[in-house]
Structure 1
């Protein structure tokens, strides 16, 4: 598989000191759909509590692990809100507006694109890429990663 090193507390402190705001992404890096409801609630709440204890400030945002439509359900967004987060991010490509659900925010991956390519992404020129975020697209991507030996948990 792919080596997936997580950051330690000292590395998180360096990021925070450098102006990068560290927020929550769960504890065990499991898609919430892989967990029983009680375990999902604990994953969401304990991650927030642990980060707040170590960082000494409120943790406001949650990013769904993997974050496609197959990796979280509406009840998970509710659990995030109940745990006291102010917003949550999916990995579904797209922009957000005033009407966007703040517990299901879309985002764009930042890649080493030339500036013009990134401008096009932000303008929606690459929105067909969002097919990967559908349930079928997610399962196809996972099957390909498993076949290539590049799957992560």
Structure 2
């Protein structure tokens, strides 16, 4: 078991694009999702599958359990997916000593771009990159399980 501690931000500009050091395609779906737990299958680059159980309310820290899976098992489980299958491109962007994961969503979520930063530290806004927009950490509408079930969040609220 590991504790995941992440901050999540909307992305305000494309200034990060020239700093990408790695790109990964991700296809993921949920077979269970509730306010305090989710079970998802994630396939990276069409080559690796991993089953992940997350426990805890949609806050900054949650318990996370991950298990490797075969692609054939992932394909079989996809029949039981709830909501939309999420497709996104994850871009790894270093900033000082930090590594941001910037997800560009496609399909029904096309146009949504989120940055995640796994950290337990609270950082001063001046140490964050200028291309970050509003922080949405703890806003359950931006958790992938809710994106799969509810679609694009209304950004007006």
Say yes or no: TM over 0.5: no
Greater strand proportion: 2
Q: Choose 1 or 2 for highest CA Rg.
A: 1
Indicate the structure whose relative CO is greater, using CA pairs within 8 Å and at least 6 residues apart: 2
- TM-score, normalised to structure 1's length? 0.27
- TM-score, normalised to structure 2's length? 0.27
